[in-house]
Amino acid sequence: MELKDILSKCDHTLLAQTATWDEIKAICDDGMKYGCASVCIPASYVKQAAEYVAGELPICTVIGFPNGYDTTAAKCFMATDAVENGAEEVDMVINLGWVKDQKWDDLLAEIKAVKAACKGKLLKVIIECCFLTDEEKIKMCEIVTASGAEYIKTSTGFAGGGATREDVALMAAHMTNGKKIKAAGGIASLQDAEDFLKLGADRLGTSRIVKAVKELEAKGEL
């Protein structure tokens, strides 16, 4: 797989609690230089970052992150606020307690509400696979497929477990209607990235792929 093809699927990510504007700016510079799909950054930096990249790179942010138990109204406000500040893509976390309580209708209604609040921008739905059984993951594939959201996403990267090859393969078998998969959390190498893409992921949430490419450049191997 061509390096540029891998990079074009990466949401180059910085969601550390202590992220500074200089660090966000560097992520944006890298995203533009390496042709990433987007940069995924905290909501408080979206407006500044959108102005900085001036249309050269989509800005993605996260809402209800990382725990997912904000109210639906709060998530909708965050989604609209992000979009109005310049976000092209929104990654939301579902209410995981509702999954355990089998509140499937509530989960579907919330995702639909957040999708509407995104005002036509792209929505990815984080289901935090490390907390779910395979049966729950399959049910969430069905709900996301029915919801109007464009993507299902494996993980926040903040819950102790990230994307696994098994989870992406399971999602690929159960996502229909052209809905896509984002693998995130723990994608550490170019081999990881290629594996996840071959298994059916269309996006990768990672900070380390651009870093790996930079290391290859520094060694003169590119």
The pair of structure tokens assigned to 7 is: 């990079």
Which residues are CB-contacts of 146 (< 8 A; sequence separation ≥ 6)? Answer: 108
Write down the domain spans for the chain: 3-215
Q: Rounded to the nearest 10 degrees, how much is the dihedral formed by the CA atoms of 159, 161, 162, 163?
A: -130
CATH of 3-215, one of 2.60.15.10, 3.40.1550.10, 3.40.50.300, 3.20.20.70: 3.20.20.70
pLDDT attached to residue 222: 82
Dump pLDDT digits (tens) for 111-141: 999 999 999 999 999 999 999 999 999 999 9
Residue positions annotated with a catalytic role: 91, 153, 182
For residues 16-38, average pLDDT: 98
The model's pLDDT over 41-98, given as tens digits with 9 standing for 90+, comes to: 999 999 999 999 999 999 999 999 999 999 999 999 999 999 999 999 999 999 999 9
